[in-house]
């Protein structure tokens, strides 16, 4: 059975007394025609790749356009002064989201989750928590299954690409996936996982895709920060027992409808929103694009 509905997934998990992450691992093994052990090994490699990618950030690099690259280092230097508004943990989340967004723009190896443009959201939330709060390795790998399962439901019912549904489908989806994943790490069950994702997605509904000069740099790098911080606040709300009144499947369906109604100028064509500002038009001209 493909993973197309949170409601159905919840029913199956309850009937078979299985955690959501276990159900996703089983679906993955069936889909790939491999054992659950081999599926786990693949997911471990994915987790290791996320850690490696974040640690490979180089503050001296800039993207080919020269527009981004140093932001991760700037935030790191600022947080080390110990006087941020957001506090130590959240400031590290911000720095890590920026580092990963810059890594992608600088053509370094990243884990698309779900896309390259939104690759900073999951590591900013999960790697920061892992390194700052000391969660077990296996729990982190399990959380990637949670994220993958949520991503699959979003992809099945709506989209996972800015060109199809706007940035709500990239940063929005990544934020929902990260919210659910960190809920699992914090001991939340399937109901908290569902609510965290629904709350996160709702907060970013309608977000347009408007990359300057068509490059996945501005506003993409900094939007990873918003996705990560939204994921954490949504997860905390869900863990506090706050529910999304609209069920997750229906939130995703609304996201699809919003994406369908979105003007094509706002779907990765680089011709609307921020991409159409005079500054962005000048940048595009200067880059001879």
Query: Which chain residues interact with ligand SF4 by CB under 6 A?
Result: 117-118, 162, 167, 170-171, 209-211, 216, 219-220, 223, 268
Cβ–Cβ < 8 Å for 6, 194: yes
Strand partners, 209: 267
Nearer to ligand SF4, 225 or 238 (CB): 225
Residue closest to ligand SF4 when measured from CB atoms = 162
CB 170, min distance to ligand SF4, A: 4
Nearer to ligand SF4, 23 or 54 (CB): 54
CB 166, min distance to ligand SF4, A: 7
CB 184, min distance to ligand SF4, A: 25
Q: Which residues contact 97 (CB under 8 A, 6 or more apart)?
A: 120, 121, 123, 124, 224, 225, 227, 228
Cβ–Cβ < 8 Å for 72, 102: yes
Beta strand extents in 214-263 (DSSP E only): none
Distance CA 38, CA 15 (A): 25
CB 277, min distance to ligand SF4, A: 14
Nearer to ligand SF4, 104 or 143 (CB): 104
The angle formed by the CA atoms of residues 26, 123 and 95, to the nearest 5 degrees, is: 170
Nearer to ligand SF4, 149 or 219 (CB): 219
């Amino acid at each position: 059975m493909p993973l197309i509905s949170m409601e159905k997934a919840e029913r199956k998990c309850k009937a078979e007394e299985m955690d959501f992450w276990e159900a996703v691992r089983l679906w993955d093994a069936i889909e790939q025609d491999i054992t659950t052990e081999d599926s786990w090994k693949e997911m471990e490699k994915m987790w290791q790749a996320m850690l490696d990618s974040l640690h490979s950030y180089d503050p001296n690099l800039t993207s080919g356009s020269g527009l981004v690259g140093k932001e991760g280092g700037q935030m790191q230097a600022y947080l080390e002064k110990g006087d941020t508004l957001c506090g130590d943990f959240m400031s590290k989340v911000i720095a890590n989201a920026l580092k990963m967004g810059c890594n992608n723009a600088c053509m370094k190896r990243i884990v698309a989750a779900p896309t390259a443009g939104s690759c900073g959201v999951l590591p900013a939330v999960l790697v920061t928590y892992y390194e700052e709060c000391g969660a077990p390795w296996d729990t982190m790998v399990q959380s990637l299954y949670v994220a993958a399962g949520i991503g699959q439901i979003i992809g099945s019912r709506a989209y996972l690409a800015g060109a199809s549904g706007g940035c709500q489908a990239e940063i929005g989806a990544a934020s929902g996936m990260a919210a659910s994943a960190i809920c699992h790490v914090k001991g939340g069950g399937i109901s908290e996982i569902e609510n965290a994702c629904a709350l996160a997605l709702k907060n970013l509904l309608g977000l347009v895709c408007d990359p300057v000069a068509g490059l996945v740099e501005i506003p993409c790098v900094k939007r990873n920060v918003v996705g990560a911080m939204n994921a954490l606040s949504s997860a905390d709300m869900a863990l506090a027992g706050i529910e999304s009144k609209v069920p997750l499947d229906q939130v995703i369906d609304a996201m699809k409808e919003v994406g369908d109604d979105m003007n094509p100028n706002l779907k990765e064509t680089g011709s609307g929103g921020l991409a159409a500002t005079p500054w962005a038009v000048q940048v595009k001209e200067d880059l001879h694009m």
